[in-house]
Amino acid sequence: MGHNHDHESGQIPLTAICLVSILLGALADYSVLLPENLAVIFYVIAYISGGYHGFKETIEHLRNFELNIDFLMIAAALGAAVLGEWIEGAILLFLFSLSGALESYALGKSRNAIHSLLKLRPSQGLLIKPDGTEKLTPIEQLKVGDTVLVKPGEYIPIDGEILKGQTTVDQSAITGESIPVTKEIGDSVFAATLNENGVIELKVTKPAKDTTVAKIIDLVESAQKNRAKTQRLLDTFEPRYAISVVVAVLGLIFIPWLFLGHEFDSTFYRAMTVLVVASPCALIISTPASIISAIANGAKNGVLFKGGAYVEQAVGIDTIAFDKTGTLTKGKPEVTDLIAYDAKTDRFSTDEESKKYLIAVAAGCEQYSEHHLAEAIMKFANETHAEPFKAENMKAIPGQGVEAEINGKQVAVGNLKMFTKQIEGWSKSIRKKAEELRKLGNTVVFVAEQNVPIGLIALADKVRPQSKKTIVKLRKMGIRKIVMLTGDNADVAQAIAGDLWIDEIHADLLPEQKVEVLNRLKKTGTVAMVGDGVNDAPALALSHLGIAMGAAGTDVALETADVVLMGDDLEKIPYMLWLTRKARRVVWQNISFSLAVIVMLLAGVFLIDLPLTAGVIGHEGSTLLVVLNGLRLLRKGG
């Protein structure tokens, strides 16, 4: 039973043949409808069809000098036949085969949950050729840079970026966000998401085998192979247990018969019954049925576990460390304040004209910069309809800012480091203003013309709307300690943590310092690290459980994390905890139930001479119940 039923294709029809032969055999045996001498022929067919898979497994194991559960079952069935109890052996093999078929059905069902993602992804896309004609092309042949047309109501065939059109896209399959997202030119879209209402043209950004959906499917497939600890424990337990049962059964046959003078038949019959009831099928399947269902449930709801072991790992978490940027916050700075300054009068001016001039100068300098602050400044200029000035002789100074020439004047846009020399000559009021803004958690950019300041631009990274809700939920779920790690300065960290009910803040960290903080936290608790993956890779790898956010974007996160949250949804973390705790409950219910059944049946054999048939039904019935209990984890909840 607890094996990779990868050769399962034939198991269901064989189980059916087995059942039919048993019924025909019983008719021949106990009624006059069929001649009695046919009974044995039908039973032999039942044995062959019911025992085929178990026999194959047994041979494979015996080749490696191992005994397994299948061996116990086959031996018990043959024992029954020797006793002339053909029908009981046949029922045993039928139930054994049935629970095998059900097990593969259960595993198959949870795999289907993943493959339903694949179904959503169309197998072809409408390629727009350079001459403007359209051609349906298999997604494997689409190359990066090709243009693909997607009509309303179609699933998007491949990861790409919109070149033309706007629409809303239902991304729940990939990111788990239930609300459709508005997409316009320049936005990324994922394969297997549903284009709701607009016609869009997109530029292919990843080949079919590297799309987010393909990665998710690989991840989940490997997760189901990557087994949970309890299951590993049971895997080493299986051969040892099989050997001890075989030894015990041989003892039960030979000691009473040879030494105590009991008659052979009844002694042998009892030994065979012990053999049947002692097979721990239910025990062996109890973990995989539950864990795999939990993995499939997670995958459907945007929580990807990389392996069964991580489902168990997540249960014990009591400390959660969040990276700030991109995890608790949106990860994109926005302009929060524009302060124009007139150096002649040493005054801050509020009129729109000077503000517009300020942003136009800054945007002029920043328009070709790759820096994320530049992006925020450009976006703001765009929203306020400030036309960026034309800048010449631009020169970027890494880590500081940009110098350029606008209308023949020397201008500079940058941080404090850039102006350390000039700032001595500047008035106190502008330095004080910058300091105030910084205290509030802003990044401050100075803009100067001919070495004289003309104003400040304040930018800040805003907290995600669901951060607070998530932290409140985690507290309710009994998480002891919530920590924030950030490379940002302490003021910014303080400003953000103030809203969020966080226990500890560690600011100004380099990636390797994050690792030190985690090592300290690990001494006092079981630590999950939540990060967005790019700079958090070392910390994700080191924590007891690495959780990567928004991995619809970054590959590094998918590689190093143990759990990946699709979409940027922090509220998936409480869901993950709920699901893993429930999975653990189900695993232990299954283990204790199956052990109890074995003990009860063994007691029955010795105390009330439990007949073989009852042993068979109790044994296989418990296996079915355990598989069904595990399948409950496929239901959504939380």
Q: Above pLDDT 90, what percent of the chain? A: 14
Assign 9 a pLDDT band (cuts: 50, 70, 90). Answer: low
Q: Which residues contact 518 (CB under 8 A, 6 or more apart)?
A: 321, 527, 529, 539, 542, 543
- Using CA atoms, how far apart are residues 484 and 500, in angstroms rounded to an integer? 10
Question: Hey, how many other C-beta atoms are within 10 angstroms of the C-beta on 40?
Answer: 15
Residue 302 φ/ψ region, left for φ over 0, alpha for ψ in the -120 to 50 degree band, beta for the rest = left
Q: Nearest 5°: phi and psi at 494?
A: -60, -45
Task: Say how far apart CA 596 and CA 286 lie, in whole Å.
Answer: 13
CATH class of the domain comprising 307-329+465-573? alpha beta
CATH superfamily of 331-462: Calcium-transporting ATPase, cytoplasmic domain N (3.40.1110.10)
SS3 for 68? coil
Of the candidates 619, 620, 340, 574, which has an alpha carbon nearest to the alpha carbon of residue 470? 574
The DSSP H or E segment spanning 392 is strand 391-397
Say what the pLDDT of residue 7 is. 45
pLDDT of residue 170: 81
126's tokens:
């409408």
597-623 residue pLDDT tens: 989 988 888 888 888 778 878 877 888
CATH architecture of 122-210: Distorted Sandwich (2.70)
Average pLDDT, the chain: 82
Q: Where are the domains of the chain?
A: 8-114+220-294+581-634, 122-210, 307-329+465-573, 331-462
Q: Which of 175, 140, 176, 170 is nearest to 158 (CA)?
A: 140
Q: Nearest Cα to 285, choosing from 508, 590, 617?
A: 590
What pLDDT score was predicted for residue 226?
64
155: DSSP letter: B
Which residues are designated catalytic?
A: 323
pLDDT digits (tens, 9 = 90+) for 376-429: 888 888 888 888 888 888 888 776 788 888 888 889 898 887 887 777 778 888
Q: Give pLDDT tens digits for 334-344.
A: 888 888 888 78
pLDDT value at residue 4: 43
Contacts of 401 (CB under 8 A, 6+ apart): 365, 412, 413, 414, 415, 418, 445
pTM of the model: 0.69
* Counts for the chain of helices (H) and strands (E), in that order: 20, 23
Residue 223 has pLDDT above 70, yes or no: no
State pLDDT tens for residues 466-519.
888 999 999 999 999 999 988 777 877 887 887 788 889 998 877 678 888 989
Q: How confident is the model at residue 5 (pLDDT cuts 50, 70, 90)?
A: very low
Most confident of 293-307, 309-323, 356-370, 416-430: 309-323
Cβ(460)–Cβ(336) below 8 Å: yes
β-sheet bridge partners, residue 200: 150
pLDDT(204) > 80? yes
Q: Dump the DSSP string for 229-257.
A: HHHHHHHHHHHHHHHHHHHHHHHHHHIII
Give the whole-angstrom CA distance, residue 516 versus residue 508. 13
